[in-house]
């Protein structure tokens, strides 16, 4: 018989991190453990974590829902097929823990050349919002440490200042040398978005994530038709649970790319549904972590490697926290690697 428990493990940012939704100082996370009562030494570990104000399951009774699923862990399949679909980060945490348990609780959810340290995953270097000086400093650091794909969060400071940061990158590096992605987090107004996209397009930008707020399919579809630079849907996918609704969203909007955050779209299963629909429509995709600890980041990285997607993924966020869990994951020269000589430090989690 399966047994499960959980505990709260908030992640503290080394530096308050800015998005167009505000400043983040803490990421709320709960660590889930599952084991068989006949073999309690082998435990599967998962992470349920939310971004306040963004996660669709950011609700007051979040911890109570995790507790309920732990109490009924032997009915987990009925939860997966039912109400957990609308609790995507909890779905993902239990999906992750069960996958880990089924592979002997060694945090090797998907063994591959990546986990053998024979292959690496290219990732983008993330530049957080801040004043111009701070953003430029981050850009220089990312390029110096070997990233050739830079993602800038925009929409919080003066747009002309943001353009000047991008211009300064392009004055030094061509699009072949440094790929630039920008993420507006829905900051542009629908009636002004096209002008901003035209300004950005002058700098050979790879793509822009979510230029306008999610939920306005008609405006987004129109923008995707006339945009001078590719649009990637991100928040637009959040809260769309039924397969037929996912198919309809892609059919109506016809984006140039989609971005998958398993914690926000229902784990491996929910993400795979989006991937299947996108690929049927010849729409490329990439995956991004949603500020998980190394427990969640490890699961996403191992999973995405098996899908043979050559694009840089958004998986470099593990270095943001003062109290992240020690793991074999490392960022080196713009790639995520699984350094087997580094071990997991899970004593606190396994003995809690």
- Per-residue model confidence (pLDDT) at position 19: 62
SS3 call for 272: helix
Average of pLDDT values for 149-155?
93
The residue behind tokens 């000086």 is 133
CA distances from 273 to 9, 239, 266, 290, 330 (A): 30, 14, 10, 19, 29
- Per-residue model confidence (pLDDT) at position 308: 96
User: How do residues 219-231 score in pLDDT, each as one tens digit?
Assistant: 999 999 999 999 9
Average of pLDDT values for 152-167?
91
User: H helices within the chain, ranges in order?
Assistant: 62-71, 76-81, 88-102, 132-144, 159-172, 193-201, 217-226, 243-253, 262-265, 267-280, 294-305, 347-350
Residue 17's pLDDT band (cuts 50, 70, 90):
confident
Residue 350's pLDDT band (cuts 50, 70, 90):
low
User: How do residues 170-192 score in pLDDT, each as one tens digit?
Assistant: 999 999 999 999 999 999 999 99
Kindly tell me if the per-residue pLDDT of 336 is higher than 80: yes
CATH fold label, 2-106:
Enolase-like; domain 1 (3.30.390)
pTM for the model: 0.96
Average of pLDDT values for 251-268?
98
* Active-site residue flag, 261: yes
The residue behind tokens 């953003």 is 135
**Domains 2-106 and 121-348 are alike in CATH topology:** no
Catalytic residue among 27, 43, 246, 261: 261
Residues 6+ apart with CB under 8 A from 247: 277
- Per-residue model confidence (pLDDT) at position 351: 63
- Per-residue model confidence (pLDDT) at position 60: 94
Average of pLDDT values for 123-144?
90
Q: In angstroms, rounded to a whole number, what is the distance separating the alpha carbons of residues 211 and 37?
A: 49
- Per-residue model confidence (pLDDT) at position 347: 74
- Per-residue model confidence (pLDDT) at position 129: 82
- Per-residue model confidence (pLDDT) at position 316: 79
Catalytic residue among 27, 153, 196, 246: 153
Give the residue extent of every domain in the chain. 2-106, 121-348
* Active-site residue flag, 27: no
User: How do residues 67-120 score in pLDDT, each as one tens digit?
Assistant: 999 999 999 999 999 999 999 999 999 999 999 999 999 999 999 999 999 999
Rg, C-alpha atoms of the chain = 20
CATH fold label, 121-348:
TIM Barrel (3.20.20)
Residue 53's pLDDT band (cuts 50, 70, 90):
confident
């Amino acid at each position: 018989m399966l047994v499960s428990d959980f505990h709260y493990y908030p992640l503290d940012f080394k530096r308050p991190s800015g998005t167009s939704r505000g400043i983040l100082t803490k990421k709320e996370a709960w660590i889930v453990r599952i084991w068989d009562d006949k073999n309690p030494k082998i435990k599967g570990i998962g992470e349920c974590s939310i971004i306040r104000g963004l996660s669709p399951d950011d609700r007051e009774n979040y911890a109570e829902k995790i507790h309920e699923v732990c109490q009924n862990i032997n009915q987990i399949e009925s939860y997966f097929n039912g109400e957990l679909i609308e609790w995507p980060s909890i779905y993902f945490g239990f999906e992750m823990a069960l996958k880990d348990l089924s592979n002997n609780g060694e945090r090797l959810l998907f063994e591959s050349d990546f986990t053998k340290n024979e292959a690496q995953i290219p990732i983008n270097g993330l530049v957080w919002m801040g004043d111009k000086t701070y953003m430029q400093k981050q850009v220089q650091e990312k390029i110096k440490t070997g990233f050739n794909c830079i993602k800038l969060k925009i929409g919080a400071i003066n747009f002309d200042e943001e353009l000047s940061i991008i211009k300064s990158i392009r004055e030094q590096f061509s699009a072949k040398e440094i790929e630039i992605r920008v993420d507006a987090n829905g900051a542009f107004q629908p009636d002004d978005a096209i002008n901003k996209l035209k300004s950005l397009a002058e700098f050979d930008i790879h793509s822009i994530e979510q230029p306008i707020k999610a939920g306005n399919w008609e405006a987004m579809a129109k923008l995707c038709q006339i945009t001078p630079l590719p649009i990637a849907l991100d928040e637009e996918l959040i809260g769309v649970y039924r397969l037929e609704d996912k198919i309809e969203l892609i059919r109506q909007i016809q984006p140039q790319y989609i971005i998958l955050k398993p914690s926000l779209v229902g784990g491996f299963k929910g993400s795979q549904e989006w991937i299947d629909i996108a690929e049927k429509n010849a729409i490329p995709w990439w995956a991004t972590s949603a500020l998980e600890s190394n427990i969640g980041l490890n699961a996403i990285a191992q999973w995405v490697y098996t899908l043979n997607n050559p694009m840089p993924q958004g998986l470099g966020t593990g270095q943001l926290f003062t109290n992240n869990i020690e793991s074999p994951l490392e960022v080196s020269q713009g790639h995520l690697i699984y350094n087997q000589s580094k071990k997991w430090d899970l004593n606190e989690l396994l003995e809690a």
